[in-house]
Amino acid sequence: MRGNQAGTTGKSKHFESVMSDDTMAQDGFEPRPEMDKAAAEAAPAPDPVETLKTENADLKDRVLRLAAEMENLRKRTEREVLDARLYGIAGFARDVLAVADNMHRALEATGPELRESADANVKALIEGVELTERELLKTLEKNGVKKFSPQGEKFDPNVHQAMYEIPTSDLPPGQVAEVIQAGYMIGERVLRPAMVAVSKAVQKTPASANDNS
């Protein structure tokens, strides 16, 4: 009886083992053979040379990107420093223009007749004002401020301020017919637009009824 029980027990264990393997196979969990583990351990390792080449290419790309960013930062910093030097005096230069305008008006008030009839002292005074005006303009130009007078040029609303229109046949419409006040540039920017009169076409008078008859 014991022998039969032992045999029955062995068969039962074998049956359970087979059933267990069949159940795992049906559930998609196949038992992993030992040879698969050995094959995985025997798989070739990555090529160290190729790995170094890949890392070197990645480092080179990072260095190039960093160098480009540093160059852009350097250029931007230089541009900002130059702009600060040039346009930082815009407020002061705009105040100085009032002095230049007053000098110019004073010289315009002294016409040719007054200069011819003036004595030596008055002529010396006028020449001194002219010299001062020239030196003032040179100083402004030295600091990037330039005077411009657009007489006869095409009207540009970006740098000109139209005060009124002048009907004329001497100039095509849309030209600067008269400069009322000169303009000034600071670098590439308008410090003060030029005040101008703009030409327009002369309106033709309609022919009278007698002329048509």
Q: What is the 3-state secondary structure (H, E, C) of the chain?
A: CHHHHHHHHHHHHHHHHHHHHHHHHHCCCCCCCHHHHHHHHCCCCCCHHHHHHHHHHHHHHHHHHHHHHHHHHHHHHHHHHHHHHHHCCHHHHHHHHHHHHHHHHHHHHCCHHHHHHCCHHHHHHHHHHHHHHHHHHHHHHHCCEEEECCCCCECCCCCEEEEEEEECCCCCCCEEEEEEECEEEECCEEEECEEEEEEECCCCCCCCHHHHC
Sequence ranges of the domains in the chain: 144-203
Q: What is the percent of the chain with per-residue pLDDT over 70, rounded to a whole number?
A: 75
Q: Tell me, what's the pLDDT at 1?
A: 47
Is pLDDT above 50 for 121?
Answer: yes
Q: What is the mean pLDDT of residues 12-27?
A: 48
> Mean pLDDT across the chain, nearest whole number?
81
Q: Tell me, what's the pLDDT at 213?
A: 46
Is pLDDT above 80 for 143?
Answer: yes
User: Domain 144-203 adopts which CATH fold?
Assistant: Nucleotide Exchange Factor Grpe; Chain A, domain 2 (2.30.22)
pLDDT-derived band of residue 174, with 50, 70 and 90 as boundaries? very high
